[in-house]
């Protein structure tokens, strides 16, 4: 029989096991439709920007608060969802929920996570996290975002040791994507080869890229 290991997680597509901390990690797709459902509380720009994509260290017994709470990346805290009486500022029952270790802009759609254990890449990548962002569809009136692979350096404490950085870009074919259907490619999956290469898959035409470092 299964057990409830952790709760309060929304749509976590990206999962991986960190071999250094021996801990499960996940990235969840943050909430949608703040302005659509609650136009008196949120405008379209706030709906696009506020609800973060959360990078979670998933410890046994953790409660990240969904559906009662979501992480507001501007306030840098969990806030009460408007469905449960929130107004974009109240925390209430969310004050004691587990927090993400890192928050990304809204709707970037993190679809895969990989902790790099190979030796082919430079030393700074060892045991760091690669994150595959499939790209947004609902950031209007702002331009769409995501559509790239990010790298997050990780410390021995299991938390980011620095800011995230773009690792592989240009998949969408241009910097001003307004419609996700215009994207030439959308990164969706990651895998590590036996030689330490990084493989990136695409959902538009089924392409696979192999990333290597030469001496």
Residue 7 covered by a domain:
no
What is the DSSP-derived secondary structure letter of residue 100? Answer: P
Q: What is the pLDDT of residues 68-127, one digit of tens each?
A: 999 999 999 999 999 999 999 999 999 999 999 999 999 999 999 999 999 999 999 999
Residue 181 has pLDDT above 90, yes or no: no
Residue 18 lies in a domain: yes
Give 58-72 as a 3 state SS string. Answer: ECCCCECCCCCEEEE
- Evaluate whether residue 100 is within a structural domain: yes
In sequence order, what are the residues at sequence separation of 6 or more whose Cβ sits closer than 8 angstroms to the Cβ of residue 28? Answer: 9, 10, 11, 12, 53, 54, 56, 64, 66, 110
Q: How far apart are CA 215 and CA 213, in angstroms?
A: 7
Q: Give the contacts of 86 (CB within 8 A, at least 6 positions apart).
A: 79, 80, 92
Query: Is 125 domain-assigned?
Result: yes
> Is 6 within a domain?
no
- The answer to the question of residue 5 being in a domain is no
**Could you give the CA distance from residue 18 to residue 130 in angstroms, rounded to a whole number?**
12
Q: How many domains does the chain have?
A: 1
In a domain? residue 42? yes
CA 131, CA 27: separation in Å to the nearest integer?
9
pLDDT band at 161 (very low <50, low <70, confident <90, very high): very high
| 117 within domain boundaries | yes
Range of the domain at 105: 12-211
Q: Taking all residues of the chain, what is their mean pLDDT, rounded to a whole number?
A: 95
């Amino acid at each position: 029989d299964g057990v409830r290991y952790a709760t309060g997680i929304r749509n976590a597509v990206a999962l991986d096991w960190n071999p250094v901390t021996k801990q499960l990690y996940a990235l969840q797709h943050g909430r949608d439709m703040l302005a659509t459902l609650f136009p008196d509380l949120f405008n379209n720009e706030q709906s696009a920007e506020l609800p973060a994509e959360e990078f979670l260290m998933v410890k046994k017994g953790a409660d990240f608060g969904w559906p009662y709470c979501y992480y507001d990346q501007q306030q840098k805290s969990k806030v009460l969802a408007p469905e449960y009486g929130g107004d974009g500022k109240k925390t209430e029952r969310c004050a004691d929920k587990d927090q993400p270790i890192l928050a990304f802009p809204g709707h970037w759609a993190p679809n895969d996570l990989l902790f790099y254990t190979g030796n082919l890449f430079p030393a700074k990548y060892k045991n760091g996290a690669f994150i595959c962002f499939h790209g947004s569809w609902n950031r209007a009136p702002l331009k769409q975002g995501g559509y790239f692979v990010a790298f997050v350096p990780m410390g021995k404490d299991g938390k980011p040791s620095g800011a995230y950085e773009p690792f592989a870009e240009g998949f969408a074919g241009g910097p001003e994507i307004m419609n996700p259907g215009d994207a030439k490619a959308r990164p969706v999956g990651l895998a590590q080869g036996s030689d330490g290469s990084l493989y990136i898959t695409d959902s538009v035409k089924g392409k696979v890229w192999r990333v290597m470092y030469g001496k």
